[in-house]
Amino acid sequence: MAVLASGIAPHHITVFLLSVGVMLGLARFLGEAARRMGQPAVLGELLAGIILGPTVLGAVAPEAWAWLFPELVDPARDVYDFSYVALEMLVTLSAVLLLLVAGLEVDLSSAFRQGRATILVSLTGMIIPFGIGFVLAWFLPGPLGLGPELDRLPFALFVGIALAITALPVIARILMDLNMAKSDFGALIMSSAMINDLVGWIGFAVVLAMVHTGTSEGHGLGLTIALTLVFVATTLTAGRWLIHRAFPWLQANLAWPGGVLAFVFVLAMVCAAFTEWLGIHSIFGAFIVGVAVGDSPRLTRRAKDTIHDFVSNIFAPLFFASIGLRLHFTEAFDPPLVAIVLAVAILGKVLGSYTGARLARLGPRRSWAIGFGMVGRGAMEIILGQLAYNHGLIGEELLVALIVMALVTSMLTGPMMQWLLKGKRPRRLGEVLTHETFIPALRATDPRNAIAELAAAAAAAAPGVDARELAREAWRRERITPTGLANGIAVPYGHHAGVRTPLVVLGLSHAGIDFDAPDRRPAHLVCLLVTEMHDFEAQLELLEMVAHAFATPEARAAVRSAGSLTQLKAALTTTALADDEHAPEATGGCPE
Amino acid sequence: MAVLASGIAPHHITVFLLSVGVMLGLARFLGEAARRMGQPAVLGELLAGIILGPTVLGAVAPEAWAWLFPELVDPARDVYDFSYVALEMLVTLSAVLLLLVAGLEVDLSSAFRQGRATILVSLTGMIIPFGIGFVLAWFLPGPLGLGPELDRLPFALFVGIALAITALPVIARILMDLNMAKSDFGALIMSSAMINDLVGWIGFAVVLAMVHTGTSEGHGLGLTIALTLVFVATTLTAGRWLIHRAFPWLQANLAWPGGVLAFVFVLAMVCAAFTEWLGIHSIFGAFIVGVAVGDSPRLTRRAKDTIHDFVSNIFAPLFFASIGLRLHFTEAFDPPLVAIVLAVAILGKVLGSYTGARLARLGPRRSWAIGFGMVGRGAMEIILGQLAYNHGLIGEELLVALIVMALVTSMLTGPMMQWLLKGKRPRRLGEVLTHETFIPALRATDPRNAIAELAAAAAAAAPGVDARELAREAWRRERITPTGLANGIAVPYGHHAGVRTPLVVLGLSHAGIDFDAPDRRPAHLVCLLVTEMHDFEAQLELLEMVAHAFATPEARAAVRSAGSLTQLKAALTTTALADDEHAPEATGGCPE
C-alpha cells in the first residue's frame, strides 16, 4: 500500500500550479477559438481536456502526461501524489462555483410572473423527453451501458432527467444575440428553461440519494429525500426572504462589493458542504443558494459581473478541461449509442416543448422556435453526465454520448431559432470596420474634404462604388441637413446605386471638423454611412450601430485616441455597452 | 504508516467545503468589524484564524476542531485526510494570488520617473533597518529563536529583510484617505515603497535558495540565485515589453474582460510553478508577473478591479485566517522578543527613511511623515513570516513577534501621518446622514416650506439650533440666489450662530420642487447645508460632499428611490465614485 513519508512536497506544488496553468491556458485558447468560429466556448474547453488527457498527450508523450497529471498513487515510487488531490478538489470547487453562477441566472420571481404558458411549456417539455428517456433506459439498459451490478431504477431515472434538462446559459446567449432577451417571447423561453433546470436538478439529487443509500455515507433514502426537499423549500422561501432583507444592510455596512461577494460565497460553501454531507453532491447546495440569491433586486450588476467574470473565465474552463483528463474519448466513442442518444434528445425535447407551446395557444412557427430553443443542453448536461459518471451511475460510453449530444444540440439551437424567427443579431461597429474603412487621422479640415476622403475609402472597400459620385451625393445632402451630432460625432450619409452591403467608414480628426453640431463642438469622429439609393432602413440601422458604439464619454475618448485598427477594436470592445444596456443619461441631458 | 483504501471520500469534500466556508465567513466578519473600528482588515482576519485554531477552538472544543481542521493523518483511523491537503493547497494558491495582486499595484514606470529622491528614500530606508536587523540576528541568534541546527547567515539575512520591507497596500490606502495619492509627495512615498518591496522579495528569494541548497529539491546555490536573477531580469524587461504589446491584441480579439483575466492568471500560474521548482517558493513568480503586467496602460481598471475584488475578498481572508489555524498564539507569545522586534522595526525604519528624505532635501516635517509612512509592514510582513516559518527558517515565537510587529506598525502609520501632515479624509454623505437628518419624503411642494421642514430636522439633530431662525435665514438667501442645480438637485444654505459641527439635512421630494434650476427641472434631492455664521469654507466642504455623492445619473436615480436610511446608505455605497475618480463628463457636456 502506498505511503508518504512527509507532508506536501514542493514537487506537488510545482506540478499542481503548472497543471492548472496549462489546463487553463489551453482551455481558454481553444475556447476563444471556438467562440470566434461561432461555436460555444465549452466545445474548445472540452477539446483542451481531450488533448491534455489520455486520448492525445497520454498517447503521444506518456511520461510527460504522467508527470503533469499524476494518478493518486505514484506507481514508480509507491507514494501518494498530493497534486492529484489538489487538482481534484479544485475541480470540485470549480463545479460548485459553476452551479452557483447557474443558479444566480435563475430569476424565480420573473418565472412565476409568466404564468400559465411557462408552466405548460416547461412541464410538457420535461415530461415527454423524460418519459422517452426513462422507457428507453428501462427496457434497453444494456445498449445504454448499465453494468450488471447497478440498479435499473436510478439509471432509468437519470437517463430521463438527462434528456429533460435544458441549458439556460445557451438560451440566454442566443436570445441576446437575436435581440429578444427582454421580449415577452424571450421571457417565456427563459422562464420555462429555469423551471426545467430547477426540477431537473432536484430530481438528480433524489437519484444520487438513491445511489448512496446503503453505503457508509448514506442516511437512508427516505430521510435523504425528505431532508433534500426540506432544504430546497426552506432555502427558496424563508432563506430567500432573509437574504433579500439582508442585502440592503450588507451594502450599507460592508466594504463594497467585497462584502456581498464574500457573503454569497460563504452561503454557497456552507450549503454545498451540507448537501455533500446529505449524500447528494455539493454542487446542488450551491445551485439552490444561487437561485435564492439571484433574483434579489439588491444584488447589483457589479457584484454579479464580478462573480461571473471569475467563474466563467477561470473555474468553468478548468472544470470542462478536467473532464477529458481521465476520459479515453476515442475508445469510449460508440457511434450507435451516440446516434440513439442524439435522436432521442432532439426529438423528445423539440416535440415536448412544441406541444406545450401549442397548448398555450402559440402559433406554429413560434412553437417550433420554442422547441428548438429548449433543445440546447450545453454545459449543464456535461456537468450532470460527469457527476453521474463519478458516482458510478453511468459508464464511460454513455458519458461520451451525453457530451456529444450536449455539444450538437447547443450548436443546433442558435441557427434553428434564427431561421424560424428570422431574427438577426445587431452588428457592432468593431466587427464591421476594416483596414480600408478606418482612417486613423483625416487630413481634411472641412466637411467637404472629409466626406471626399471617406468616400474614397468606401470606394476602395466596396467594388462598384464610385468615389466622386458618392462624395458629390453625400455633400449635396450635408449642405441641406448638416449631420453633426452632439459630443463631437458627425454622420454624413451617402446613398449610391450599386452598394451591395451597407457600409460605414470611420475617420478620426484630431483637430476637429465643424459639421454644424447643435452643441457647436467640432466633430472628431466622422462616420460616412453608405447605403443603396433610398435604403433608409439600412441607413437607420447603421446610425444605430454608430450611436450604440459611441454612447458613453469613455467610448468616445477611447476611440479618439486609437491610432490603429487593433487599438480601435480594443477601445470599442472595452467600452462596449452590454446588449441590454443603454446609457441615455450620458447624452440625454444635453440638447441633441 | 497511514494508508488510505480508496480515493477522495465525500467526507473529505464536506469537511473541505465547510472549513472554507467557516474560515471565510468568520474572517470576513471580523475583518469588517476591524475596518469599522478604523483598523486594518487583516487584524480581524488573523483573529479569525486564532479563534478557529488551537488557541481558542482547539482548547474549548478539541473534537469539533479536529473534525473541521484535521491533520494530514487521521490518528483515530490511521488514514490520510485529504481535506487537509485540499485546504493547504488552497491556501498556497491564495498566497500566489495575493502576491500577484501585490505585484499589480507596483507601477515600475512611475517609480523610475520619480528619480533621485525615490532612490535615496528607498535605499537608506532599506539599508538602515536591514543593517540593524542583520547585526542583531547575527550576534543574538539565541534570543531571536534560531535553533542550533540552522545556519546563522540565512537567518540573519532574513531578519534584516523582514525589518527592511514595507507595506505598499497600507500606504496606498492611507494616502487615499488623506487625499494625497495623486500628489508628488504621495508618488514619492509609493515609489520608494515599491522599490523596497521589489528588492526585499528578491532578497527573500535568495535566502530561500540558500536554505534549500543541499536538500533533494535544491539545484545548488549559485545556479538557483543565477536563475532567479535571470528570471527577474527577463520578466521585467523582455517579458514586460511582450505583455504590453500583447494587451491591445488580446483586448481586440478575446472575450472581454475574461480573456485578459485568464491570460494574467495563466502567466502567474506558470511562473509560480517555475519559481517553486527553482526552490524559491511559488509566490515569488506570481509577484514578478504582477509587477510586469501591472503598469501596462492597457490593463484597464475593470480587469484590475475584478482580480482585486476576488483576491482581497476571498483569497486574502482565507490566507490570513489559515495562519492562526496551526499556531499556538498565546503559548508562542514571548513579550521580550515582541518588544525587541517592535522597537527595532520602528526605530530602524523611521530613522532610515527620515535620513533618506532629509538627504533628498525634504523638510523635517515631511521627512518624519515619510519615515512613519514607511514604517507600516502590513500583510506583506505576515506572508513573509509565514513562509519563513513554513521553510523552517524561523521559530513560532519569532513568527508571532513579526505578526504583532506588522499589525502594530500598520496601525501606527495612519494616525502618525495624519498628525504630521494635518491631512484629513473628506467625509462622505453616507457617513454623516442619520435618522434625524434624512427625510425620505418631503411633504412640502414649494421651496419655502421645504426649507422649513429641513430646518426643523436640523434643529432636532443639533442642540442649540433654532428651527425658525435657521429657516428664515435660509429662505432669505434662497430668494436672493436660488440654489437649484441641474439634474434635480437643490442645496439651500442656512447659516446659524451656534452650529458646532456643520450639518447636512437631505430630503427627497417625489413630486419635485421648483428651486429655479438652470435646466428648469424640479429638485428631487434637496440638501440643506447648515454651518456657523459666515463659515463659507465649511459650506464649500459640504457642497463638495453633496456634489461628489450625486455626481452620476446612477447615484441620483438610486438615491431618489431610497425609502429608508438603510436603503439610502446602500444606494450611496453602491454608486459611490472611487476617491480618485471624477465623472465630469456625466454632466460636463451639459450647460449647467
Please state the rounded mean pLDDT for residues A392-416. 88
Q: What is the average per-residue pLDDT within A263-277? A: 92
Residues A331-343: pLDDT tens digits? 889 999 999 999 9
For residue B366, give every residue at least 6 positions away whose Cβ sits within 8 Å of its Cβ, in sequence order, or none.
Answer: B185, B357, B420, B421
pLDDT at residue B502, as a whole number: 85
Q: Amino acid letter at B497?
A: A
B3 in any annotated domain? no
**Cross-strand partners of B526:** B490, B507
Provide the domain count of chain A. 2
Do both A414 and A435 map to the same domain? Answer: no
A119 min Cα distance to partner chain B (Å): 33
> Does A152 have pLDDT greater than 90?
no
Q: Is there a single domain that holds both residue B410 and residue B444? A: no
User: Residue A505 — pLDDT band, cuts 50, 70, 90?
Assistant: very high
Helix axes A282-294, A240-253, angle to 10 degrees: 70
Question: In terms of Cα–Cα distance, which of B557, B301, B488, B578 is closest to A584?
Answer: B557
A residues 51-90 lying closer than 8 A (beta carbon) to B: 72, 80, 82, 85-86, 88-90
Do B96 and B286 contact (CB within 8 A), yes or no? yes
> If you search the block for the grid coordinates 439582508, which residue do you land on?
A246
User: What's the per-residue H, E or C state across A13-64?
Assistant: HHHHHHHHHHHHHHHHHHHHHHHHCCCCHHHHHHHHHHHHCCCCHHHHCHHH
Select the residue of B80, B270, B309 nearest A261 (Cβ to Cβ): B309
Residue A577 has pLDDT above 70, yes or no: no
Among B362, B393, B421, which residue terminates a domain?
A: B421
- Chain B, residues 312-331, CB within 8 A of chain A, namely 312-314, 317
CA–CA separation, A52 and A43 (whole Å): 14
Interface probe, candidates A89, A176, A311, chain B, greatest B C-beta count within 10 A: A89
Residue in A with minimal Cα distance to B488: A589
Looking at B421, B456, B486, which one is the last position of a domain? B421
For residue A205, being part of any structural domain is answered with yes
Q: Across the interface, which of B35, B80, B255 has its CB nearest the CB of A255? A: B35
Check pLDDT > 60 for residue A578. no
CA distance B148 to chain A (A): 22
Chain-chain contact of A28 with B249 (C-beta, under 8 angstroms): no
If contacts are CB pairs under 8 Å, which of residues 503-542 in chain A contact chain B? 519
Average of pLDDT values for A126-141? 90
Residue A198 has pLDDT above 60, yes or no: yes
Decide if A39 touches B, using CB distance below 8 A. no
pLDDT at B53: 92
Q: What is the reported pLDDT for A579?
A: 46
Task: State whether A448 and A413 are in the same domain.
Answer: no
Question: Do residue B486 and residue B356 come from a single domain?
Answer: no
Q: What three-state secondary structure class fits A592?
A: coil
Q: Which domain holds residue B302?
A: 85-421
**Whole-number pLDDT of residue A554:** 81
Measured between alpha carbons, how far is B171 from B531 in angstroms, rounded to an integer? 33
Q: Are residues A280 and A199 in the same domain?
A: yes
For chain A positions 563-592, those within 8 Å of chain B (CB to CB) are 566-567, 569-570, 573-574, 576, 585-587, 589-591
- What residues 452-471 of chain B have any CB closer than 8 A to a CB of chain A? none
Of B252, B365, B186, residue with least CA distance to A435: B252
> Could you tell me if A217 lies within 8 Å of chain B, comparing CB atoms?
yes
**What are A449-499's pLDDT values in tens digits?**
999 999 999 888 888 888 888 999 889 888 888 888 888 899 998 888 878
- Write phi, then psi, for A330 (nearest 5 degrees): -70, -40
Buried b / exposed e over A258-286, threshold 16 CB at 10 Å, is bbbbbbbbbbbbbbbbbbbbbbbbbbbbb
Query: What distance in Å separates residue B482's CA from the closest CA in chain A?
Result: 21
**pLDDT at residue number A49:** 92
Q: What's B560's domain CATH number? A: 3.40.930.10
pLDDT at B500: 78
A249 CB within 8 Å of a chain B CB: yes
Question: What pTM did the predictor assign?
Answer: 0.77
pLDDT in tens, A70-99: 888 776 666 778 888 899 899 999 989 988
- Both B119 and B202 in one domain: the answer is yes
pLDDT band at A399 (very low <50, low <70, confident <90, very high): very high
Nearest residue on chain A to B570, alpha-carbon basis? A252
Q: Does A24 touch chain B (CB under 8 A)?
A: yes
DSSP reduced 3-state for A307: helix
Q: Is B443 among the domain residues?
A: yes
Which of A299-308, A417-426, A579-588 bottoms out in mean pLDDT, i.e. has the lowest?
A579-588
Mean pLDDT rounded to a whole number for chain A: 83
In a domain? residue B355: yes
pLDDT score for B181: 65
Domain CATH number, residue A134: 1.20.1530.20
B135 touches chain A (CB under 8 A): no
CA count, 13 A, side-chain hemisphere, A310:
23
- Nearest C-alpha of chain B: how many angstroms from A484? 15
Same structural domain for residues A464 and A328? Answer: no
d(CA B380, CA B169) in angstroms, rounded, equals: 9
* Judgement on whether residues B174 and B202 belong to the same structural domain of the protein: yes
Q: Residue B241 CB: number of other CB atoms within 10 A? A: 11
A67 occurs within a structural domain = no
| A260 shares a domain with A407 | yes
**Whether residues B411 and B515 fall in one domain:** no
Judge if A187 and A203 occupy the same domain: yes
Report d(CA A489, CA A525) in Å as an integer. 5
Is some CB atom of chain B closer than 8 A to the CB atom of A215? no
Residue closest to A20 by CA, chosen among B378, B541, B230, B90: B90
In a domain, A9, yes or no: no
Smallest Cβ distance to A25: which of B90, B266, B306?
B266
pLDDT value of residue A586 = 33
What distance in Å separates the CA atoms of residue A446 and residue A9, rounded to the nearest whole number? 70
Q: Is A192 exposed, middle or buried (0-12, 13-18, 19+ CB in 10 A)?
A: buried
Contacts of A430 in chain B (CB under 8 A): 252
For every one of its 592 residues, what pLDDT tens digit does chain B have, with 9 covering 90 and above?
A: 344 445 677 888 999 999 999 999 999 999 888 888 877 788 889 899 999 999 899 999 999 998 999 888 776 666 778 888 899 899 999 989 988 888 887 777 777 776 788 888 888 999 999 999 999 988 888 777 766 666 788 889 999 999 998 877 677 777 776 767 667 787 788 888 878 888 888 888 888 888 765 444 556 777 888 888 899 899 999 999 998 888 877 777 766 667 788 889 999 999 999 988 887 788 889 988 988 888 777 676 777 777 887 888 889 899 989 988 888 888 889 999 999 999 999 999 999 999 999 998 888 888 998 898 888 887 788 888 988 888 888 888 899 999 999 888 888 887 888 788 775 566 788 888 888 889 988 998 899 999 999 999 988 888 888 888 899 989 988 888 888 888 889 989 888 887 878 889 999 998 899 998 888 889 999 999 998 887 777 888 888 888 888 888 888 888 888 888 888 888 888 777 654 443 333 333 333 2
Q: Which residue has the higher pLDDT, A591 or A468?
A: A468
Query: Which residue among B86, B574, B576 sits closest to A300, beta carbon to beta carbon?
Result: B574
Among A421, A439, A454, give the residue marking a domain's end.
A421
> Does a structural domain hold residue A273?
yes
Same domain, A486 and A437: yes
User: What's the rounded Cα separation, in Å, for the pair B79 and B74?
Assistant: 5
A57 pLDDT more than 90? yes
Q: What is the mean pLDDT of residues A99-111?
A: 79
Q: Is residue B505 in a domain?
A: yes
Report CB contact under 8 Å: A270, B25. yes
The interface pTM score, or ipTM, of the predicted complex is 0.77
Per DSSP, B237 falls in state: I
pLDDT above 70: percentage of residues in chain A: 90
